[in-house]
Chain A
Amino acid sequence: MNRREFLQCAAILVSGCSASQLGLALSQEQQVYLATAPDYITTEVNYLSAPQRRIIAAMAEIVIPRTDTPGAIDAGVPKFIELMAADWFTEGERAIFEAGLRDMETRIPAQYGRAFDELPADTRLGIMEDMEAAAADSPWYEFGNVQRDFISDAPFICQVKELTIYGFFTSEAGATQVLRYNAMPMRFDGDIPLDPQDSTWSSDGLI
């Protein structure tokens, strides 16, 4: 259930029907067999403006570029970031995200004469490296600080990196073409050769 559906449910909940009737009706309505559901990134969202979408896409592609394998844009990461910022972020996280985007929209053209996404790739990279250097003291970078939902006061650059990397490696392109994906291995072998160039299994959601 995404935030919109949740809000719809909440609206029905406060409208006065009995919880038991509602519980049944809603739980059936929400039930989706996920393996055959549409991809998450096909969810409709109208949160960012067209210029903002171009900036986010350009930033995501700097984090994970297309090489001989798909990159962030190929994997639908810009849409993922927009969905997560709109539906999953807390208000505080969204405020940081929006302030960061405003900064990209105003500061970069003032300083460089063009929108971020129209700058040469090495200039874009330099800008993001400067942003990372300025954020270097954030706990986001602490070794091993990865077992958590999200760091709520993480700076904008860290938000973009985390959503890009997460969105990429959990996307179909990232999981199947950059990592290795096999939902039905049928057997377990605890000792197969690993070449230094081999990727990990896509293990999201597995224990």
Chain B
Amino acid sequence: MIPAEHYDFDAIVVGSGVSGGWAAKELTEKGLKVLVLERGRDITPGPDYLGEHAPAWKVPYQGKRPRQLYEDEYPMGKRVYALSERNRQFWMNEKENPYVVDAKNPFMWIRADVVGGRSLLWGRQTYRWSEQDFRANEQDGHGIPWPVGYQDIAPWYSHVEKFAGINGKAEGLPQLPDSEFQKPMPWMALEQTIHGRLKKKAPDITLTNARVAILTEDLPGRSACHYCGPCHNGCSTGSYFSSHSSTLPAARATGNLTLKADALVERLEHDPVSGRVTRVHVIDTRTRERSAFSARLFFLCASTVGSTQILMQSRSEAFPNGLANSSGVLGHYMMDHTLGMSGMGIFLDNMDSYYYGNRPTGLYIPRFRNVGGQDEDADFVRGYGYQTFTIRTDWTTNFNSKGFGADLKDSLRKPGPWIWGMAGFTECLPFKSNRMYLSNKVDRYGLPQVAFEMKWSDNEVKLRRDAARQADRILKAAGAVFAMPGDSQDLTAEQMSLPGEGIHEMGTARMGDDPSESVLNKWNQAHDVPNLFVTDGSFMTSASCVNPSLTYMAFTARACDYAVKQLASGAV
């Protein structure tokens, strides 16, 4: 082994979002000198949360989105609820940083462009995978078997949950294992009413708190939620998990962290003699100056598409099809969750009850289809869960009423009926034909623009249809006076959310035991390159139906532990 002093750093982490932040924390806390490279610009938590707590009357257009600007520069971002003039400074300008969009089959690639990445903008939903999720591929034959099971990951879920701070309610469900929970957020009266009715009329349904990375109890340096509402504008009290509130401060506190912003990684340099990655080549996005840094360990945490792009750009004689791609599966088996409104109901219960504070999440209905085995009436494999939300209607839902004057003013200021909505998040199967690749077009740095080919399969369509059917049953059992359909019960793939719109893109450098079918082994370590680890969503071998970020955190921490032990033993 080459002595440590011959390297610039012990480890280099590419990316500073959910996964990169965790890699930085874990590696620095284990004593490694770590360089984190982030292509986005640096921001200061707090002062750079420009829209935090800004009332509408302070915001351009009092909160209406500038349509032409978004159409021109954020054509995909504008499809996301979170984008507004309160937080646009976090988002990547798509016009300046294009990728190839197939007009007929567009893929929606949503990126942030600041230190912290999408951890600033995410929906904060955090769910453990179950043993059934890890066994799904081997049981129904889609994709390849996972090289790990729930028991391998469970301790690492606990490890990251205690630090990140997850609130939720323990339910003891086998298909959705409980996390290490902080106390759950309170419910609305209508939600209690619905819960009681479902217990009687739809006992197969569990209605529980959404499990979210938002504090309900203080943690060191972070305060419990103050219920202002829109987390995605940034949180200067660190109440929701982001790299800025949690992992990067911890990494900094060790004295072992160097963070370089505006640093776009062009490629990794592979030494065919040692079989190791030796250096990372970086472009300064402000000056276009190129530089390189050496290290003993390399962690790619640049998001699924970003990390896969870097591997594809890191071609060499030894790896003509992309670094660590002897299997040829790099870029393939792309997955995402389909999402959309499965149904909404109007409720006239609890009309004399209201709420205080803005709870920044809703309730959750965990998977109930094909649990523990295939349901007899299911013409699909896998399942889905619902994120639900409860809204008391206000002027924003009936401003287009007829009339003028004091009566109109008075009716608009008062609350209307309740709406309870159910958004289905359905699992996606891994297919080789769903892929990303490097196109012939280049961007302003001269790097290839990424392109995508991805379509929903028959199974995803059937899952969404079933989610719409079941939502109708649940809304009626819940006591909706009027159940409005969301998705059609005979919808087609074209009517579904765009591939990528779930912003859970994953799977393009999947893990497996067989190096001829996978890029990574069970430790997130490249089969072909022992000092290269990939711990963002690209490692995912299947998708489950639950939001994936917690699983990225757990696998990242586990991979860091393994990598440092390998380093100590001289194996890497």
Which residues in A have some Cβ–Cβ distance to B below 8 Å?
A: 1-3, 6, 19-21, 23-24, 27, 31-41, 62-65, 67, 71, 80, 83-84, 87-88, 90, 125, 128-129, 132, 136, 140-142, 144-146, 149-150, 158, 161-162, 165-167, 169-172, 175, 178-179, 181-194, 196-207
Which residues in B have some Cβ–Cβ distance to A below 8 Å?
A: 41, 47-48, 50-69, 81-82, 84-86, 89, 93, 96, 185-189, 191-192, 225-230, 232, 285-288, 350-360, 392, 394-402, 404-406, 408-410, 412-415, 444
Cβ–Cβ contact A132 & B230, under 8 A: no
A33 to B47, CA, bound (A): 7
Q: How far in angstroms is the closest Cβ of chain B from A1? A: 7
Chain A residue with Cβ nearest B93: A23
Cβ–Cβ contact B415 & A194, under 8 A: yes
Q: Which of B65, B229, B402 contacts A149 (CB 8 A)?
A: B65
The residues of B that contact A37 with a CB separation of less than 8 Å are 54, 58
Cβ–Cβ contact A205 & B353, under 8 A: no
The residues of B that contact A20 with a CB separation of less than 8 Å are 285-288, 444
The 9 residue pairs across chains A and B that have the minimum distance between CB atoms: A34-B54, A185-B357, A206-B229, A170-B56, A188-B357, A190-B188, A194-B354, A200-B394, A170-B62
Q: Which of B56, B355, B359, B399 has the most chain A CB atoms closer than 10 A to its own CB?
A: B56
A65 to B68, CA, bound (A): 32
Q: How far in angstroms is the closest Cβ of chain B from A143? A: 8
A118 to B197, CA, bound (A): 58
Cβ–Cβ contact B69 & A1, under 8 A: yes
Cβ–Cβ contact B358 & A166, under 8 A: no
Q: How far in angstroms is the closest Cβ of chain B from A65? A: 6
A194 to B356, CA, bound (A): 11
Cβ–Cβ contact B67 & A90, under 8 A: yes
Chain A residue with Cβ nearest B66: A88
Cβ–Cβ contact B86 & A34, under 8 A: yes
Cβ–Cβ contact B412 & A169, under 8 A: yes
Q: How far in angstroms is the closest Cβ of chain A from B415? A: 5
The residues of B that contact A202 with a CB separation of less than 8 Å are 55-56
A66 to B358, CA, bound (A): 29
The residues of A that contact B287 with a CB separation of less than 8 Å are 20
Cβ–Cβ contact B61 & A84, under 8 A: yes
Cβ–Cβ contact A178 & B409, under 8 A: yes
Tell me if B's interface is mostly helix, strand, loop or mixed.
loop
Chain B residue with Cβ nearest A199: B413
Q: Which of B68, B392, B397, B415 contacts A146 (CB 8 A)?
A: B397
Cβ–Cβ contact A190 & B59, under 8 A: no
Q: How far in angstroms is the closest Cβ of chain B from A26? A: 11
**Interface pairs (18), CB distance under 8 Å:** A20-B286, A33-B47, A34-B54, A35-B51, A41-B62, A149-B67, A162-B400, A183-B228, A186-B357, A187-B356, A190-B191, A191-B189, A192-B356, A193-B352, A200-B414, A201-B358, A205-B63, A206-B358
A181 to B395, CA, bound (A): 14
Q: Which of A63, A67, A169, A181 has the most chain B CB atoms closer than 10 A to its own CB?
A: A169
Q: Which of A27, A187, A194, A197 contacts B351 (CB 8 A)?
A: A194
Chain B residue with Cβ nearest A169: B395
Cβ–Cβ contact B189 & A188, under 8 A: no
A200 to B213, CA, bound (A): 28
Q: Which of A3, A158, A179 contacts B413 (CB 8 A)?
A: A179
A90 to B214, CA, bound (A): 39
Cβ–Cβ contact A63 & B404, under 8 A: yes
Cβ–Cβ contact A125 & B405, under 8 A: yes
The residues of A that contact B50 with a CB separation of less than 8 Å are 31-34
Cβ–Cβ contact B358 & A40, under 8 A: no
Q: How far in angstroms is the closest Cβ of chain A from B215? A: 13
Q: A23-B96, A175-B57 are in contact. Are A188 and B41 (CB under 8 A)?
A: no
Q: Which of B64, B85, B354, B402 contacts A193 (CB 8 A)?
A: B354
Chain B residue with Cβ nearest A20: B286
A141 to B288, CA, bound (A): 53
Chain B residue with Cβ nearest A144: B397
Cβ–Cβ contact A142 & B227, under 8 A: no
Cβ–Cβ contact B52 & A35, under 8 A: yes
A80 to B359, CA, bound (A): 30
A107 to B116, CA, bound (A): 58
The residues of B that contact A185 with a CB separation of less than 8 Å are 226-228, 356-358
Cβ–Cβ contact A204 & B396, under 8 A: yes
Q: A62-B405, A141-B400, A166-B64 are in contact. Are A191 and B355 (CB under 8 A)?
A: yes
A2 to B444, CA, bound (A): 27
A135 to B521, CA, bound (A): 65
A116 to B186, CA, bound (A): 52
Q: Which of A2, A197, A203 contacts B60 (CB 8 A)?
A: A2
